[in-house]
Amino acid sequence: MPLLSAKDREYVRDFFNKELQGKVELVLFLPAKAEEARASRENPYLPQMLELMQELTGLSPKLALRVVRPDTDPEVFALYGVPLGAYPVLALLGEGGVDYGIRFYGIPAGYEFRTLMDDLVDVSRGHSRLKPETIRQLADLKTDLDFQVFVTPTCPYCPKAVRLAHQFALESPHIRADMIEATEFSELANQFNVYGVPKTVINQGAQEIEGAVPEEMFLEAALAAAAETG
């Protein structure tokens, strides 16, 4: 049975048809084939992630899915900075394979499905919907920043934080932004003492943001992290 209902499929198809401009490649990082059965027992979302991405990319000719695995494509993991043991991870590449640094660690399910849809639109257009002043300040950024936004799929406040981080990544070549589904990546969540979401960690803790905050505060934290990191 498909994950998306017939009604939702139609809605998404229509939405993509109207909103997508350029092509987007979805690169899905999965475990080695031989590992898959064990990995799926540990993370029951794993098979659904593949299924969902197949269904989604089938809804628009502008979307393409590429599945990579550590045993057959280790160089792709290296190229996009995805640790070999991390899965499922999704990267969105714009027209001509441009990597904006947008990543999903874990399934974009529940509320985060909408985040993925809006991200796909932005990536297909090559620009975000941030305020002009934010975009201007991000363009001046010279320091590499790594955003990790911890979420759960049942958190209605979380998409706002993920969307901001992903749009920041889109606007600045120095920013990489990972959505991290905390129940699937519980070791990472423990490492950063995540007991509430959304929680955004910049540069391994140079700055931390608890909760969904306005664009200006997100930018402030990013600039502060950049100043601290030097």
Partner 1 sequence: MLELGSLIESNDGWRLPAGEAGGNGGDGDATHYDVAVIGGGPAGLSAALYTARAGLRTIVLDKSPYAGALGLTDKIENYPGVPGPVRGVDLLKTMRDQALSFGAVYIQETVLSADGRTTPKEIITASRTIRAERLIVATGSLGRVASLPGEERLLGRGVSYCATCDGAFFTGQPVAVVGENEEAVEEALFLTRFARKVHFIVKGHTVRASAELTAELREHPRVTWHERTRVKEILGDTRVEGIRILPSGGSEEILPVKGVFVYLQGNRPILDFFQGDVPELTPEGYVKVNEEMETSFPGVFAVGDLTGKRVRQAVLAAADGVLAALAVERQLRGREKIRAAW
Q: Which residues are at the interface with partner 1 (CB under 8 A)?
A: 3-5, 8, 11-12, 15, 18-19, 43-45, 48, 107, 109-111, 113-114, 117-118, 121, 129, 152-158, 160, 163, 182-183, 189, 193-197, 199, 210-214, 216-217
Q: Which CB atom, from 12 or from 91, has the smaller least distance to partner 1?
A: 12
Residue 80 Cβ, how far from partner 1 at the closest point, in Å? 26
Q: Cα 111 to the chain's mean position, in Å? A: 13
Residue 37 Cβ, how far from partner 1 at the closest point, in Å? 17
- Cα(152)–Cα(133) distance, integer angstroms: 30
Residue 119 Cβ, how far from partner 1 at the closest point, in Å? 10
Q: Which CB atom, from 11 or from 80, has the smaller least distance to partner 1?
A: 11
Q: Which CB atom, from 172 or from 200, has the smaller least distance to partner 1?
A: 200
Residue 228 Cβ, how far from partner 1 at the closest point, in Å? 20
- Cα(47)–Cα(41) distance, integer angstroms: 10
Q: Which CB atom, from 152 or from 172, has the smaller least distance to partner 1?
A: 152
Residue 14 Cβ, how far from partner 1 at the closest point, in Å? 9
Q: Which CB atom, from 122 or from 178, has the smaller least distance to partner 1?
A: 122
Residue 185 Cβ, how far from partner 1 at the closest point, in Å? 12
The residues facing 26 across adjacent strands are 65, 92
CB-count burial class (<10 Å; 0-12, 13-18, 19+) for 220: middle
Q: Which CB atom, from 19 or from 73, has the smaller least distance to partner 1?
A: 19
